[in-house]
Chain A
Amino acid sequence: MTYFSTYSLSRSFGGVRAVNDATVEIEQGKISALIGPNGSGKTTFFNLVTGMITADAGKVLFKGSSIGGLKPHQVALRGVGRTFQITRLFREMTVLENMLVPVRRFGVRELLKDAVGGSEAARAMLWLDRVGLTKLQGEPAANLSYGQQKLLELASLMMSEPELVLLDEPAGGVNPVMIQRISGLVRELNSEGTTFFIVEHNMPLVMDLCDHVVVFDAGIPIAKGTPDVIRDDPKVIEAYLGG
């Protein structure tokens, strides 16, 4: 049984096939990358599998059951989390409050609990410590640097204990030192059991961090394999250099 896969997933916008018959598999416990030129459908693919938009056709399977057609919160509660290309924090909440937004169960008793107390807050502080944001816990998220916001977004996502994390350009617009911190964190989390699927344009980072690479061009997966194989694949080179 494959851990996470899509079969013939398709979605058009007007006449444009943003994702076209995409069959993709990733393995548990690995860090996989999704690369491709701008506009090749990577973010649309993430939006499809997380239920933010609906597919025209195709299936999404996670741990043997279909998650295609589920609502975003249902996908999240199944254990699939994601971050965004441009961070989507709750900008007017503090750093600590942001950490406490994710829910692991959704019910009346859960909703009536104290918002910033108890074991959740303690867990949040552990995560903040781990990503080095402890001192900023009382700051509104909007006041953080862009790289810090990316770290916070990932840390708050980890509060919901996802098994599979989809990262949309974790290194985009971030300075080299912060890229090192983010990739270091991804590697650590991966060694603790979290599976990653990453959209990224920074090729040295992809080659360094990832076990497996899927390449999209015009919404179609055109190649897959280890970073070394992908680097020399003529189809990939052509897709990137134009043709």
Chain B
Amino acid sequence: MSSHLLLQAVVLGVLTGGVYSLWSAGLTLIFGVMRVVNIAHAAFLVLSAYLSWFAYTELGIDPLLSLFATVPAFFVVGVLIQRLLLARLRDHVTMMSVLLTTALAITIEGSLGMLWTGSHRGIEISYSTSSFSLAGISFPSDQVIGFVLAALTFFALFMLLRHSRYGKALRATIQNPDAASLLGIKTTTIQGIGFGLGLATAAVGGLILGLIHPFFPATHWAWIARIMAIIVLGGLGSVTGAALAALLMGVIESVVLVTLSPVWAGMIFYLVLAGTLVFRPHGFFGGRLAERF
């Protein structure tokens, strides 16, 4: 195989991996904050893709503009899910959240099917179908737009977690909720915002999904499996770990796709997941759980 083809594969892998970073960041944040396994995360991605698609095809609103509605809406929905549903699970939250969020995923999938049937959809906008070349490497516009959007959103999330008082209060809440509340931190609000932020990133991520990939109501199962594998590899709860693991997996997937076959490209996620769980269950990038962002 030519080195040019390999380079092309790596470039596409980085672009894909950047998008995976954003998808996994939201999921791993939600796990880190509340020990909630959000099986519905990819269903929310697909929901956002549908909303942007609908706004574009039916109402003629540019998909990038629809973010101004979907991001705040997803944030509010996230806060409500945490406060009204997840908070009731209390001590059983990790195990029971799997059931609860699976139910949410199925509900979203069913509703989308009812509203818009099971047909494949895609968001095709004039500026996303072209591509440009740089030093002989081809850059598809939709993937570049997706990567840039993902990077910007990821950066904003990272800055908020790393450098704001909210981020500090969140870390305090994760490490020791009792002590945090005695220092004046309203831990339930902190957790609600955490879940809201996780879903807000899914609103952006969903638009990117819609721009790059065809989607239908049940597509989320394939995606949730991939991003679960990524966050396990990155260390559950670690936002930076998830980003690194996502980039790595994006590149591996792309290179395998070119060198071996598309079948193995999809399989590689499950192999990595199994390998990680066997050899290093706490992931490769995370430190101790509470310190992970």
Q: From residue B183, how far is it (CB to closest CB) to chain A in Å? A: 4
In the complex the two chains form, is A112's CB within 8 Å of B184's CB? no
Interface segment, one of B15-23, B161-169, B198-206, B251-259: B161-169
In the complex the two chains form, is A115's CB within 8 Å of B163's CB? yes
Instruction: Tell me if B128 is interfacial: C-beta within 8 Å of chain A.
Output: no
In the complex the two chains form, is B171's CB within 8 Å of A103's CB? no
Instruction: Tell me if A104 is interfacial: C-beta within 8 Å of chain B.
Output: yes
Q: How many A-B residue pairs have CB under 8 A?
A: 96
User: Is chain A's binding surface mostly helix, strand, loop or mixed?
Assistant: loop
In the complex the two chains form, is B185's CB within 8 Å of A73's CB? yes
Q: Mark B6-50, 1 if CB is under 8 A from A, else 0.
A: 000000000000000000000000000000000000000000000
Name B73-94 residues within 8 Å CB distance of A.
none
Residues on the B chain within 8 Å of A82, using CB: 182
- A73-B187, A101-B168 known; A91-B175 Cβ under 8 A: yes
Q: How far is the CA of A89 from the CA of B183 in the complex (A)?
A: 11
Q: From residue B79, how far is it (CB to closest CB) to chain A in Å? A: 13
Q: From residue A78, how far is it (CB to closest CB) to chain B in Å? A: 10
Residues on the A chain within 8 Å of B180, using CB: 90, 101
In the complex the two chains form, is A72's CB within 8 Å of B178's CB? yes
The one of B175, B184, B287, B288 in contact with A106, judged by C-beta atoms closer than 8 angstroms, is B184
Instruction: Tell me if A102 is interfacial: C-beta within 8 Å of chain B.
Output: yes
For B171, B181, B193, B287, which residue has the most chain A Cβ atoms within 10 angstroms? B181
The one of B183, B193, B287, B291 in contact with A101, judged by C-beta atoms closer than 8 angstroms, is B183
Residues on the B chain within 8 Å of A93, using CB: 168, 171-172, 175
In the complex the two chains form, is B171's CB within 8 Å of A73's CB? no
In the complex the two chains form, is A73's CB within 8 Å of B181's CB? yes
In the complex the two chains form, is A113's CB within 8 Å of B181's CB? no
Instruction: Tell me if B179 is interfacial: C-beta within 8 Å of chain A.
Output: yes
Name A64-87 residues within 8 Å CB distance of B.
71-73, 75-77, 81-82, 84
The one of B168, B184, B287, B288 in contact with A73, judged by C-beta atoms closer than 8 angstroms, is B184
Residues on the A chain within 8 Å of B169, using CB: 101, 103, 111
Q: How far is the CA of A97 from the CA of B171 in the complex (A)?
A: 10
Instruction: Tell me if B290 is interfacial: C-beta within 8 Å of chain A.
Output: yes
Instruction: Tell me if B261 is interfacial: C-beta within 8 Å of chain A.
Output: no
Q: From residue A71, how far is it (CB to closest CB) to chain B in Å? A: 7
Residues on the B chain within 8 Å of A84, using CB: 179
For A76, A90, A103, A112, which residue has the most chain B Cβ atoms within 10 angstroms? A90
For B162, B163, B172, B179, which residue has the most chain A Cβ atoms within 10 angstroms? B179
Q: How far is the CA of A41 from the CA of B187 in the complex (A)?
A: 27
Q: How far is the CA of A160 from the CA of B180 in the complex (A)?
A: 12
Instruction: Tell me if B176 is interfacial: C-beta within 8 Å of chain A.
Output: yes
Residues on the B chain within 8 Å of A131, using CB: none
Residues on the A chain within 8 Å of B287, using CB: 92
For B160, B163, B168, B171, which residue has the most chain A Cβ atoms within 10 angstroms? B168
In the complex the two chains form, is B164's CB within 8 Å of A103's CB? no
Residues on the B chain within 8 Å of A157, using CB: 183
Instruction: Tell me if A56 is interfacial: C-beta within 8 Å of chain B.
Output: no
Residues on the B chain within 8 Å of A89, using CB: 176, 179
Residues on the B chain within 8 Å of A88, using CB: 176, 178-179
28 A–B contacts, CB within 8 A, in A order: A50-B182, A71-B186, A72-B182, A73-B182, A73-B186, A73-B187, A76-B184, A88-B179, A90-B176, A90-B180, A91-B175, A91-B290, A92-B287, A101-B169, A101-B180, A101-B183, A103-B184, A103-B185, A106-B185, A111-B166, A112-B165, A112-B166, A113-B164, A114-B163, A114-B164, A115-B162, A115-B168, A157-B183
Given contacts A81-B182, A90-B176, A92-B175, 11 further A-B contacts (CB under 8 A): A77-B184, A88-B178, A92-B287, A101-B180, A101-B183, A103-B183, A106-B186, A113-B165, A114-B165, A115-B162, A115-B165
